Amino acid sequence: MALFDTSVEISIGSYIVFRLEEQGVKSMFGVPGSFLANFLDIVEQSNITWVGECNELNAAYAADGYARFRGGLSVLATTVGVGELSAINGVAGSFAEELPVLHIVGQQKTKDQEAGVNVIHTLGDGKYDEFAKSALPYTCSQLLLSNADIALGNADEKIDKVIIDCISKSRPAYLAIPWDLVDVKIVTTRLNDKLSVEEIPIDTDAEQAAIEHIYRRFVDAFSGKVEDNVVVIADVSVRRHHCTTEAADFLSVTKLPVYGTPLGKTVVDETSERYGGIYVGDLSSPDVKEKVKAAKLVLFLGPLDTDFNTGNFTSNIEQKRSIKLHFDHTEVGFATYSRTGMKTLLPKLAQRLQEFVKKASQLEVPLFRNKAVVDTKDKLITHDWLWWRVGGWFREKDMIVTEAGSVSYGVLDLAMPKDSGLLAQKLWASIGWSMGATHGATLARREIDGASAPQTILFIGDGSLQMTVQELSSMIRSEIKPIIFVINNGGYTIERLQHSIDAEYHNIVTWDYGKLLKVLSKVNVASLTQTYRVTKETELGELLDTGKLRDNGCLQLVEIIVGRDDAPPALRRALHIDKLGNNNESMKRAPLQRLIGW
Residues 129-148 that bind a copy of itself (CB under 8 A): 130-131, 133-138
- CA-wise closest residue to 574 among 314, 370, 345: 314
Residue 456 parent element (H or E): strand 456-461
Write out the binding residues for a copy of itself, residues 277-306 only, by CB under 8 A. Answer: 304-306
Instruction: Kindly tell me which of 349 and 460 has the beta carbon lying closer to a copy of itself.
Output: 460
Of the residues 7, 124, 193, 546, which one makes contact with a copy of itself according to CB under 8 A: 124
Does residue number 182 form part of the binding site for a copy of itself (CB under 8 A)?
yes
Does residue number 81 form part of the binding site for a copy of itself (CB under 8 A)?
yes
Instruction: Kindly tell me which of 195 and 357 has the beta carbon lying closer to a copy of itself.
Output: 195
Q: Rounded CA gap, 445 and 498, in Å?
A: 36
Does residue number 319 form part of the binding site for a copy of itself (CB under 8 A)?
no
Q: What is the DSSP letter of 371?
A: P
Applying CB under 8 A, which part among 154-162, 449-457, 474-482, 574-582 lies near a copy of itself? 474-482
Does residue number 262 form part of the binding site for a copy of itself (CB under 8 A)?
no
Residue 485 parent element (H or E): strand 483-488
Of the residues 63, 96, 258, 283, which one makes contact with a copy of itself according to CB under 8 A: 96
Q: Rounded CA gap, 282 and 293, in Å?
A: 11
The three-state DSSP-derived secondary structure of 147-205 is HHHHHHCCHHHHHHHHHHHHHHHCCCEEEEEEHHHCCCEEECHHHHCCCCCCCCCCCHH
Write out the binding residues for a copy of itself, residues 424-443 only, by CB under 8 A. Answer: 427-432
Q: Rounded CA gap, 446 and 451, in Å?
A: 5
Write out the binding residues for a copy of itself, residues 28-67 only, by CB under 8 A. Answer: 32-34, 37-46, 50, 52, 54-55, 57
Does residue number 468 form part of the binding site for a copy of itself (CB under 8 A)?
yes
Instruction: Establish whether 489 is an annotated binding residue.
Output: yes
End-to-end CA distance of the chain: give it in Å, rounded. 83
Of the residues 516, 567, 571, 577, which one makes contact with a copy of itself according to CB under 8 A: 516
Does residue number 201 form part of the binding site for a copy of itself (CB under 8 A)?
no
Find the shortest distance in angstroms from Cβ 312 to a copy of itself. 9
Applying CB under 8 A, which part among 118-126, 156-164, 409-417, 576-584 lies near a copy of itself? 118-126
Instruction: Kindly tell me which of 175 and 210 has the beta carbon lying closer to a copy of itself.
Output: 175
Instruction: Establish whether 462 is an annotated binding residue.
Output: yes
- CA-wise closest residue to 67 among 24, 19, 26, 99: 99
Find the shortest distance in angstroms from Cβ 148 to a copy of itself. 22
Of the residues 225, 318, 546, 591, which one makes contact with a copy of itself according to CB under 8 A: 591
Write out the binding residues for a copy of itself, residues 375-404 only, by CB under 8 A. Answer: none
Q: Rounded CA gap, 404 and 434, in Å?
A: 8
Find the shortest distance in angstroms from Cβ 427 to a copy of itself. 6
The three-state DSSP-derived secondary structure of 277-328 is EECECECCCHHHHHHHHHCCEEEEECCCCCCHHHCCCCCCCCHHHEEEECCC
Instruction: Kindly tell me which of 89 and 208 has the beta carbon lying closer to a copy of itself.
Output: 89
Q: Rounded CA gap, 487 and 485, in Å?
A: 6
Q: Rounded CA gap, 379 and 539, in Å?
A: 10
Does residue number 502 form part of the binding site for a copy of itself (CB under 8 A)?
no
Instruction: Establish whether 116 is an annotated binding residue.
Output: no
Handedness of CA 294, 300, 304, 308 (dihedral sign): negative
Find the shortest distance in angstroms from Cβ 413 to a copy of itself. 20
Find the shortest distance in angstroms from Cβ 470 to a copy of itself. 6
Does residue number 116 form part of the binding site for a copy of itself (CB under 8 A)?
no
Handedness of CA 175, 179, 180, 185 (dihedral sign): positive
User: Helices 342-352 & 204-221, crossing angle to 10 degrees?
Assistant: 50
Instruction: Kindly tell me which of 5 and 220 has the beta carbon lying closer to a copy of itself.
Output: 5
Does residue number 595 form part of the binding site for a copy of itself (CB under 8 A)?
yes
Q: Detail the residues annotated as belonging to a binding site for Mg(2+).
A: 462, 489, 491
